[in-house]
């Protein structure tokens, strides 16, 4: 069951959904519009030229800020940016996606992993991919979050990205180290 905009506002007021800062004018019939922060980053290695990102190792990552005059995102790269808002819930499952106005510019706001775990209350890392050059600005409404009622026993997220305030590069390499320590991976 998806929450309506008015119900999202009620749950924020009751403390069962966290959106900070919260502005009721960004509610829609069944979602809340979130904003792009000025924080952005990207991997320094590119797939062309023989340099490949390696899932078993930390990859070089550059952090930067989006200036007030905007930043052009280019095709052929994943940019990791963060939401301006800290959001999440221990009671409802957030799912994020681009606003349709953003998608119509050819900007994918969250390529995969749109399902946010229960208990993940952060400034979420967004995976931005432009199919053509697109200028983005800090503070622009870029995506929307919906909240869904789970059924069954709730287990809260306590993972490696909990508490994020900046765009976080992949920590997949940590999974390989755990598997190697258990002797289950080569």
DSSP 122: B
Domain count, the chain: 1
Whether residue 137 is predicted with pLDDT greater than 60 in this model: the reply is: yes
pTM: 0.87
Tell me the per-residue pLDDT of 99-109, one tens digit each, with 9 for 90 and over: 989 999 999 99
- CA-to-CA separations, 89 to 31, 116, 118, 146, 161, in angstroms, rounded: 14, 9, 6, 11, 15
Segment 21-46 mean pLDDT? 94
Q: Is residue 70 included in any domain, yes or no? A: yes
Alpha carbons within 13 A on the beta-carbon side of 115: 6
Q: Is residue 185 included in any domain, yes or no? A: no
Whether residue 42 is predicted with pLDDT greater than 80 in this model: the reply is: yes
For residues 59 and 78, the answer to whether their CB atoms sit within 8 Å is no
Please give the Cα distance from 15 to 23 (Å, whole number): 15
Please give the Cα distance from 117 to 95 (Å, whole number): 9
User: Which of helix, strand or coil describes residue 35?
Assistant: strand
DSSP 44: S
Q: Is residue 10 included in any domain, yes or no? A: yes
Q: Is residue 184 included in any domain, yes or no? A: no
Segment 102-130 mean pLDDT? 90
Q: Residue 140 is part of a domain; what is its CATH number? A: 2.70.40.10
The whole-number pLDDT of residue 185 equals 52
Under the banding of pLDDT at 50, 70 and 90, the label for residue 82 is: very high
Domain assignment of residue 13, given as a range: 5-44+57-166
Percent of the chain with pLDDT strictly greater than 90: 66
The whole-number pLDDT of residue 25 equals 98
Segment 125-132 mean pLDDT? 95
Q: Is 120 exposed, middle or buried (0-12, 13-18, 19+ CB in 10 A)?
A: buried
- In sequence order, what E strands does 44-171 have? 61-65, 71-73, 79-83, 86-88, 93-98, 107-108, 125-130, 134-136, 141-148
């Amino acid at each position: 069951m998806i929450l309506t905009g008015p119900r999202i506002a009620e749950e924020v007021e009751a403390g069962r959904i966290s959106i900070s800062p919260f502005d009721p004018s960004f509610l829609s019939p069944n979602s809340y519009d979130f904003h792009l922060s000025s924080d952005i980053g990207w991997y320094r290695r590119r797939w062309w030229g023989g340099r490949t990102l390696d899932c078993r190792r930390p990859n070089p990552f550059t952090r930067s800020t989006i200036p007030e005059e905007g930043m052009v995102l280019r095709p052929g790269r994943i940019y990791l940016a963060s939401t301006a808002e800290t959001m999440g819930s221990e009671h409802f499952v957030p799912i994020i996606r681009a606003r349709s106005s953003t998608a119509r510019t050819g900007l994918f706001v969250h390529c995969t992993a749109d399902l946010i775990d229960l208990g993940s209350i952060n400034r979420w890392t967004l995976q931005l991919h432009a199919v053509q050059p697109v200028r983005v600005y800090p503070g622009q409404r870029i995506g929307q979050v919906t909240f869904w009622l789970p059924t069954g026993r709730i287990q809260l997220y306590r993972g490696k990205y909990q508490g994020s305030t900046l765009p976080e590069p992949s920590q997949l390499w940590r999974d390989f180290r755990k598997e190697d320590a258990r002797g289950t991976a080569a």
